[in-house]
Chain A
Amino acid sequence: MVENKQEFWRWKEYNWHDESLDPKGAEIISAGVDVGSVSSQAVVMVDGKLYAFSNMRTGSDSPDSARKAMSWALENTDLKLEDIHYTVGTGYGRVNVPFADRAITEIACHARGGNMMYGPTVRTILDMGGQDCKAIHCDEKGKVTNFLMNDKCAAGTGRGMEVFADLLAVPIEEVGELSLDVDEEPPPVSSTCVVFAKSEASSLLRDGWSKKRVLAAYCSAMAHRIVSLLDRIGVEKDFAITGGIAKNSGVVARLEKELGLIALKSNYDTQIAGALGAALFARALIEKQRKKVSQ
């Protein structure tokens, strides 16, 4: 018998491109590929404008994930991989992007991407990724001035949220909304460790707590954990959140409440910040290269 178990943590993969833009004859076509520990994104820019992107899960093989993300971003567009003038790889698997011209750290790329997504007033970017959480300070040009990160512990990361979505059999995209649908805010889950928080959640369910209430308690614990990370570096206005958890309204609302600050909103997909920053770096690098040649 084959057990057909639904995987609630599985978020939807997607690609997008701007049909109103014509990449033919563009001066600079640059790309950024962010190979993260959980998700990978590829961004293609045409003369400094976002043209296409993809967002998918990282497989067990980094070069393969990078290639897949890129070919998916280019799917149904008028571009091929050869048309791209310069590519920057970033993220956990940045050195394993086979077609990249250069690798740049995800911290630098997030600041640069955040600068474009949220405008030059953003000073603190909180990137809540799959297996890490970073607080980045940057200047008006999107240059990193300071940062702090947790990549040792699953508490406060997307992986932790995936574990909970699976445990409670709630599709991960719905966790945020459901967690806000409670009459009264429950006390946060007290265990820090995700492994222990899981047992705690099981006993809360047994005590008669609804799924929504348990989710509220976990989102609140996660927000609290992130705030203590942010406290160590300080939050300078304006403040923005990127990464997958930025899409979880339950964590974002509680985070904003605890900080007493509202995060900037953006029309860009919050998960592409790193790849977008990489594509911006790629554009600047090819410009520099061309200047040198012409001199």
Chain B
Amino acid sequence: MITAGIDMGSKYVKVVILKDGTVLSKAMAATGFEPAEAAAACFKRAVQDSGIDRSSIEHITSTGAGRKAAPNINSDITDVGAAAKGVTHLLEGVRTVIDVGAEEGRGIKIEANGKVVDFAVNEKCAAGAGAFAEAMARALEVSLDEFGKLSLKSEKTIPMNAQCAVFAESEVVSLVHAKTPKHDIARAVHDAIASRIVSMVRRVGINKEVALVGGVSYNCGFVDSLGRALETEVKIPENPEYVGALGAALAAGERIK
């Protein structure tokens, strides 16, 4: 049985082609201004890489913020449902999934079989999402990758007064003027995002194991801050940015049966 999942994220489109629980291929492309076209191109690439014929894909399920805009799909699943399914497939014993993307954050409470019990979402405010770290890295004129690594060099906690990403930018500028080292500023920013996310996840409860998925999982500075804020270890699956697409492909399989 071959299925496909398309995750239409706000920043990137991800595609996973799945055969009997094994990933045949995956592809990613910037969403840009034409999400449907980006998804079609990304899907084509994934099919080519998988070596299978397009017609052998039995069911395609989309997820993500723009899931209704995905081309040629058979069904769709919410971000929350897809993340829960994807994580359960990859890691054992997870009860809390934290999904942080470019423009949203989610806390999901799940059962052992991956069933969603409760969830909390922030998609209104950049302060609890990847966009915040991106904007601050830009303000400090370092790459996002470097920004994460810088954060690990710091051992100092500087509380940020501003909650809002726009106000935080002025605060970062004043910190720079006050000759605060870049790595301390980086940690302050990651701590701020982590604290916003943890207070959101607390609303559904935090139970071990805790898994982190979504593109922001690649930011080692954020992962460090999140671990400290949660006071527990955070598990990150391989290819965390593809978890949503994988979950969608798994859901597609269930829908055939």
* A-B interaction: yes
Q: What is the minimal beta-carbon distance from B68 to any residue of chain A, in angstroms?
A: 16
Return chain B residues, CB-CB under 8 Å to A37: 170
Q: What is the minimal beta-carbon distance from B253 to any residue of chain A, in angstroms?
A: 34
A290 an interface residue at 8 Å Cβ cutoff? no
Taking a contact as CB atoms closer than 8 A, the residue among A154, A191, A199, A203 that contacts B164 in the complex is: A154
Q: In the complex, are the beta carbons of A192 and B167 less than 8 A apart?
A: no
Q: What is the minimal beta-carbon distance from A128 to any residue of chain B, in angstroms?
A: 15
Q: What is the minimal beta-carbon distance from B36 to any residue of chain A, in angstroms?
A: 14
Q: What is the minimal beta-carbon distance from A92 to any residue of chain B, in angstroms?
A: 11
**How many residues does chain B have at the interface if contact means C-beta atoms less than 8 Å apart?**
18
Contact of A206 with B33 at beta-carbon distance under 8 Å, contacts A193-B125, A196-B103 already known: yes
Q: In the complex, are the beta carbons of B174 and A193 less than 8 A apart?
A: no
B91 an interface residue at 8 Å Cβ cutoff? no
Q: In the complex, are the beta carbons of A192 and B124 less than 8 A apart?
A: yes
User: How many Å lie between the Cα of A199 and that of B135 in the bound state?
Assistant: 12
User: How many Å lie between the Cα of A199 and that of B173 in the bound state?
Assistant: 22
User: How many Å lie between the Cα of A176 and that of B126 in the bound state?
Assistant: 26
Residue ID in chain B nearest A203 by CB atoms: B33
Q: In the complex, are the beta carbons of A193 and B33 less than 8 A apart?
A: no
Q: In the complex, are the beta carbons of B174 and A153 less than 8 A apart?
A: no
Q: In the complex, are the beta carbons of A193 and B126 less than 8 A apart?
A: yes
Q: In the complex, are the beta carbons of B33 and A159 less than 8 A apart?
A: no
Taking a contact as CB atoms closer than 8 A, the residue among A60, A191, A194, A203 that contacts B166 in the complex is: A194
User: How many Å lie between the Cα of A199 and that of B66 in the bound state?
Assistant: 15
A131 an interface residue at 8 Å Cβ cutoff? yes
As a 0/1 sequence over residues 172 to 203 of chain A, the CB contacts with chain B under 8 angstroms (1 = contact) are 00000000000000000001111110010001
Q: In the complex, are the beta carbons of A193 and B135 less than 8 A apart?
A: no
Residue ID in chain A nearest B168 by CB atoms: A154
B113 an interface residue at 8 Å Cβ cutoff? no
B131 an interface residue at 8 Å Cβ cutoff? yes
B165 an interface residue at 8 Å Cβ cutoff? yes
User: How many Å lie between the Cα of A167 and that of B132 in the bound state?
Assistant: 18
A163 an interface residue at 8 Å Cβ cutoff? yes
Q: What is the minimal beta-carbon distance from A158 to any residue of chain B, in angstroms?
A: 11
Q: What is the minimal beta-carbon distance from A219 to any residue of chain B, in angstroms?
A: 17
Q: In the complex, are the beta carbons of A153 and B131 less than 8 A apart?
A: no
A292 an interface residue at 8 Å Cβ cutoff? no
Q: In the complex, are the beta carbons of B165 and A195 less than 8 A apart?
A: yes
User: How many Å lie between the Cα of A281 and that of B131 in the bound state?
Assistant: 44
As a 0/1 sequence over residues 107 to 126 of chain B, the CB contacts with chain A under 8 angstroms (1 = contact) are 00000000000000000111
Return chain B residues, CB-CB under 8 Å to A153: 125, 163-164
Q: In the complex, are the beta carbons of B165 and A193 less than 8 A apart?
A: yes
For A152, A160, A195, A206, the residue with the greatest tally of chain B CB atoms inside 10 Å of its CB is A195
Return chain B residues, CB-CB under 8 Å to A163: 166
Q: In the complex, are the beta carbons of B135 and A195 less than 8 A apart?
A: yes
Residue ID in chain B nearest A202 by CB atoms: B33
Q: In the complex, are the beta carbons of B167 and A131 less than 8 A apart?
A: yes
B257 an interface residue at 8 Å Cβ cutoff? no
Residue ID in chain B nearest A61 by CB atoms: B177
Q: In the complex, are the beta carbons of A196 and B33 less than 8 A apart?
A: no
Q: Which 4 A-B pairs have the closest CB atoms?
A: A154-B166, A195-B126, A60-B177, A194-B166
Further 9 A-B residue pairs, CB within 8 A, beyond A60-B173, A160-B166 = A131-B167, A131-B170, A154-B164, A193-B125, A195-B126, A195-B131, A196-B124, A196-B126, A196-B131
Chain B residues close to A by CB (< 8 Å): 33, 103, 124-127, 131-132, 135, 163-167, 170, 173-174, 177
A-B contact pairs, 27 of them (CB 8 A): A37-B170, A60-B174, A131-B167, A152-B164, A154-B164, A154-B165, A154-B166, A154-B167, A159-B166, A159-B167, A163-B166, A191-B124, A193-B124, A193-B125, A193-B126, A193-B127, A194-B126, A194-B164, A194-B165, A194-B166, A195-B131, A195-B132, A195-B135, A195-B166, A196-B124, A196-B131, A199-B103
